[in-house]
Amino acid sequence: MVLVLTPSSSSSSVCLLRRSPPRYGAVRCSSSVQEIQKPPGEGLSSDLRASEPLPPLKVAKRVVLVRHGQSTWNAEGRIQGSSNFSVLTKKGESQAETSRQMLIDDNFDACFASPLERSKRTAEIIWGGRKESIIPEYELREIDLYSFQGLLKNEGKERYGSAYRQWQLDAANFIIDGHYPVRELWERARNCWTKILAHDSRSVLVVAHNAVNQALVATAIGLGVEYFRCLLQSNCGVSVLDFIPRPEGGSPDICLDRLNQTPGSPVAGGKSGGRDTNKRIILVCNGSTQGNTENSFPFAGDQPMNMLGVIQSQKSAELLLDLKVSSIISSPNKACFETAMTISKVQEAADCLGADCVPRYVELKQIGNLDVETIFQQSKMDLSNFPPIQPGWLNRIDDGLRTTLWDQSGKAWQSLLDEISDESSEGVLVAVAHPAIHIALMGHCLNLTKEWLGSFHLDEGSVSVLDFPDGPKGRGVIRCINYTAHLGRWSIPITRSTEDGEEF
């Protein structure tokens, strides 16, 4: 193995190693349900507008969203919408059973479900023998697609031509039978949140559908209709939202703890937003470090990984073995680089491990702009009494520090886009850094601003996947956020204890 290191003192430098065999912020909304005045294909907007406030809370709530398992019409490639003619396939029932096992030890207080049969049956399997009855909620039905419903996708293209094309490319402005389905869905999702949050419970399971779950996630964190198909929801994928009451009252603070944790691997094949993709960025958070303790703020200097971190990095490397990674870009921090090296070594041993018939060659780089430790260590903010990482913690750091983090991550994001824009690249790029940097990178992917930093959460050792079906210059699709199931016994529980006196 030959390592060639090109050092530089610049924080924005790239070191190439070639190897051979807020306090929580206010709820915002990026658009209203007014017509989106922009041509199809244009980038996402992140203009801040106050969204309709959600009801105030007295205690924290965690809501777990699950999409139904594969249905007969999913398998046929038929447009379902809010019709009720399809049922779960055997694969769909198996997916629901896997989700039941994933959530079996979680202490849910209530379960809301769409009354459509495919969702209703999924909820029954997951809910199992719990004594509380499932609450049917008609507003949780799938998006109303009117004349499209029941058509095979190729039939929709043949019969409706330009309308079907608009549905695919400009869904926010798609109109059929005098209706704007996506805008109607966003309004309905807001109404659902009012009902769900008003229920006397602290941990809630919601079982529904692809589009409506996208709308629930988006409206909760304040994203408009132009984000339809940007937040993937796979069959039986699990998404988690935390709702935290404010001391002064008013609409709660909201954090997306994870998105689309699926029964199967998140890096396996599949479409993003209904389209194939050949460009992908995988964000891997470094493993736990020697300076980390359960109750400390995780910036104790540039520390190597502890034993838990070593295990986390090995588990991430095993997960990524199913992909042929073209390059790895790492923060220069010790724990990040150790994680990157572990992934690289496993990739290059793919033939020995039976994952490939030939050795893989991985390009490993370091980028100074992925270094978050320096930002926090050089900050004038007193971090000695800062609490450990919790949902929304990035909105509790001071504005100057948040601005520095956002600006530096923007430069790192451009470096990642440049990397996958290279025509010689095979399309899969892995970036290894601290959770804070990766949260900011996801914000840049969605064309948001620093005010959204507290709207996402990542754990050490987690994996998040960003796809680019329209190429690096097109909008990104978030395939999953904060996936931790690959960590096995060290994975982060989907829900946390909701015993009296305990916070999430």
Q: Rounded to whole angstroms, how far apart are CA atoms 480 and 282?
A: 10
Q: Rounded to whole angstroms, how far apart are CA atoms 444 and 227?
A: 14
Catalytic site residue 419? no
Catalytic site residue 124? no
Q: Rounded to whole angstroms, how far apart are CA atoms 6 and 328?
A: 16
- State yes or no: 69 annotated in a binding site: yes
| Nearest residue to 346 (alpha-carbon basis) of 333, 337, 357, 359 | 359
- State yes or no: 199 annotated in a binding site: no
Tokens of 103: 């959530």
Q: Rounded to whole angstroms, how far apart are CA atoms 415 and 444?
A: 12
Cβ 55 vs Cβ 198: under 8 Å: yes
Q: Which residue has the tokens 């050949």?
A: 278
Give ∠ CA 306-310-313 in degrees, rounded to 5.
135
- What is the separation, in whole angstroms, between the first and last Cα of the chain? 46
Cβ 387 vs Cβ 449: under 8 Å: no
- State yes or no: 70 annotated in a binding site: yes
- State yes or no: 74 annotated in a binding site: yes
- State yes or no: 82 annotated in a binding site: no
- State yes or no: 80 annotated in a binding site: no
- State yes or no: 153 annotated in a binding site: yes
- State yes or no: 498 annotated in a binding site: no
- From the candidates 139, 142, 338, 373, which is the catalytic residue? 142
- State yes or no: 402 annotated in a binding site: no
Spatial neighbors of 129 by CB under 8 A, at least 6 apart, are: none
- From the candidates 35, 42, 52, 68, which is the catalytic residue? 68
3-state secondary structure of 366: strand
- State yes or no: 190 annotated in a binding site: no
Which residues carry a binding-site annotation? 67-74, 118, 153
Which residues carry a binding-site annotation for substrate? 67-74, 118, 153
Catalytic residues, by residue number, are 68, 142
